Amino acid sequence: AHAAAATAPVTPGALKDGTAVPLLANLGKPGDAAAAVALGAEGVGLFRTEFLFLSADEAPTVSAQRAEYEPLLASFPGQKVVVRMLDAGADKPLSFLNDADEENPALGLRGLRALRAHESILRDQLTALAEADAATRERGEGADLWVMAPMVATVEETRYFTALAREHGIRTAGVMIEIPAAALLADRVLAVTDFASIGTNDLTQYTMAADRVLGSVAGYQDPWHPAVLRLVQSVGAAGRAADKPVGICGEAAADPLLALVLVGLGATTLSMAPAALADVRALLRDHTLDDAGRVAEAALAADDAASARAAARAAASS
Ligand code: PEP
Ligand code: MG
């Protein structure tokens, strides 16, 4: 029996007017899938593959990766599972991908840049995912696998990754939007790939030029900042114009009121730590899409994060 069958089904994420907002889980290991399903995750919006290999000295083999990806996919039969390619560098170094000694690793050879410099590792990961997808489908327990690249800055990188994923037989490929350059060119980025997923953690770090792990500048790391919200708004508008999905997978989606704002800005799905699902689901159910748009407008019109939060709170309760 499937793990979800043991618990009462949780209603899918939706607004008061019935607009569906699928609520997905951020996961770092397949073993956490059952708990996420029990909390009502409708799939996975961000599987952080680098967490599997943080202590590895060498790049993982295709078969070692398949052993992780197959149980992950089988935990979400028929549902969306967005797997992120190894996001190595800065706060998450992998010894087999980050070989350079860099003074500013957050601005260095990280994410897709590092994978491209070690293309066989990227190819092995895509091979392992395609094989895991095929094997689980053959057993009748396949998921709807989407893959995405981290730390994408340019349209050219988007084109490169999407083509490479397709070459490996992956059906749905997209990119994370977590660098302001990619957010500003979201319409061009979305023209050459299938979907975008906004990483609000890094998008905030790079928009505010404040290291996300440095306590002395922690005050800047607030996704309520209207500068961040404006970037999300432009990505949301590009997604609507291109009729392509724009998810959110940064921690911002775990703040219920901010989740409503993000939907108002055009996010089509929200992915978060499973523990946050219930509160986000409850708040969304109390508001319509029109409400979300109004609340987002109020936040966008603010000068700073604190006033954006206060304005959104006032708009949401009026
Ligand atoms: C993000 O940057 O918002 C994100 C989801 O990725 P990570 O936190 O793993 O960098
Ligand atoms: Mg990130």
Tokens representing 119 are 């293309």
Closest residue CA from atom 8 of ligand 1: 201
Write the ipTM. Answer: 0.99
Decide: 46 in ligand 1 pocket, CB within 6 A.
Answer: yes
Residue 85: closest CA among 51, 58, 61: 51
Decide: 200 in ligand 1 pocket, CB within 6 A.
Answer: yes
Tens digit of each residue's pLDDT, the chain (318 residues): 455 455 567 899 999 999 999 999 999 999 999 999 999 999 999 999 999 999 999 999 999 999 999 999 999 999 999 999 999 998 889 999 997 789 999 999 999 999 999 999 999 999 999 999 999 999 999 999 999 999 999 999 999 999 999 999 999 999 999 999 999 999 999 999 999 999 999 999 999 999 999 999 999 999 999 999 999 999 999 999 999 999 999 999 999 999 999 999 999 999 999 999 999 999 999 999 999 999 999 999 999 999 999 999 999 998
Decide: 178 in ligand 1 pocket, CB within 6 A.
Answer: yes
- Ordered DSSP codes for 262-314: HHHTT-SEEEE-GGGHHHHHHHHHT--HHHHHHHHHHHHT-SSHHHHHHHHHH
Residue 28: closest CA among 90, 89, 92, 106: 92
Residue 271 φ/ψ, nearest 5 degrees: -125, 140
Q: Could you identify the residue written with the tokens 């919006």?
A: 45
Q: Could you identify the residue written with the tokens 């790391």?
A: 221
Cα 202 to averaged position of ligand 2 atoms, centre (Å):
5
Supply the pTM of this predicted model. 0.96
Decide: 250 in ligand 1 pocket, CB within 6 A.
Answer: yes
Tokens representing 206 are 């790079």
Decide: 50 in ligand 1 pocket, CB within 6 A.
Answer: no
Cα 151 to averaged position of ligand 1 atoms, centre (Å):
9
Q: If residue 198 lies in a helix (H) or strand (E), which one and from where to where?
A: strand 195-198
